[in-house]
Amino acid sequence: MIRRLCIVGVGLIGGSLARALKVADAVGEVVGYGRDPQALQLAQELGVIDRAETDPQAALRDADVVVLAVPVGAMEGVLRELAPFLSPQTIVTDVGSTKGSVVTAAERVFGTVPPRFIPGHPIAGTERSGVAASFAELYHNRRVILTPLATTDRAALETVRGMWQAAGAQVVEMAVRHHDEVLAATSHLPHILAYTLVDTLARMEEHTEIFCFAAGGFRDFTRIASSDPRMWHDICLANRDALLGVMDRYAADLAQLRGAIERGDGEAILTTFRRAKQARDEFKQ
């Protein structure tokens, strides 16, 4: 059990973790820290946290584990704010969608990544945000990626692993750079495609009619375009290099498909679609 857990940024992700740990009886007191007293009050009224603090020293006092559930673009500033009050024994982890930028932020603040700082990323979420959208089952059978470094304290790593397992997640480890490359392809690029498609259609003159007659495929594909724009703005900038690489590859493949359609090359079109269907069907299994 984690005796005292401090969640910095009690929204969908941090709030769902707190709910899950409470259900699993894997945490004692949950302290919520943030700058918005009204949001913290709501989290307390919902039973997500036991105590709300807007003072970092009070929030971190005697905390065993601190979870940074803030946008990756805010990570360095939050770490600077918390650093003077962090005990060397406190375990710190995060939920950011990019890991290279988080490691860099920690290095800038502390000089080197503290041994008990465990970068992490739960592969879970919805298009909704805020603590009111949180629920205890969010992490059930979902993967959480931890990206320990060579200097990582193994006991701290196992504590964080156990925390996520108690929340119902499957925990895997991955190198920082590899994480960012994989997530650029599987998560960041799809969000960019959804946002861009909706924006393109919304700026067409007949956009009202287009959205009126949109079928299930459009709704399924573009659902993630309802996600928090600021969060995805931060992710795009934080994972720029890996994201540009996979965007270039996708753009080249799209250009090839466009050329096939322009030429009326049905065989090339069918080959692409069949290859994609086979890959997607294998993924479902």
Instruction: Tell me the C-alpha distance between 29 and 49, whole Å.
Output: 8
**Pair 194, 225: CB distance under 8 Å:** yes
DSSP alpha helix (H) spans, the chain: 12-23, 37-45, 56-60, 75-82, 100-110, 154-166, 176-183, 189-202, 207-212, 216-222, 229-238, 240-263, 266-284
- Which neighbouring-strand residues pair with 53? 33
Tens digit of each residue's pLDDT (9 = 90 or more) over 79-124: 999 999 999 999 999 999 999 999 999 999 999 999 999 999 999 9
**Pair 210, 182: CB distance under 8 Å:** no
Tens digit of each residue's pLDDT (9 = 90 or more) over 182-206: 999 999 999 999 999 999 988 887 7
Helix (H) / strand (E) containing 62: none
> To the nearest whole number, what is the mean pLDDT of the chain?
95
Query: What is the set of domains in the chain, with CATH numbers?
Result: 2-174 (3.40.50.720), 179-284 (1.10.3660.10)
User: Among 89, 51, 88, 64, which residue's Cα sits nearest to residue 2?
Assistant: 64
Instruction: Tell me the C-alpha distance between 51 and 43, whole Å.
Output: 9
Tens digit of each residue's pLDDT (9 = 90 or more) over 64-91: 999 999 999 999 999 999 999 999 999 9
**Pair 53, 10: CB distance under 8 Å:** no
Strands of the sheet containing 143-146, edge to edge, are 120-122, 143-146, 170-173
**Pair 2, 165: CB distance under 8 Å:** no
Structure confidence at residue 285 (pLDDT):
52
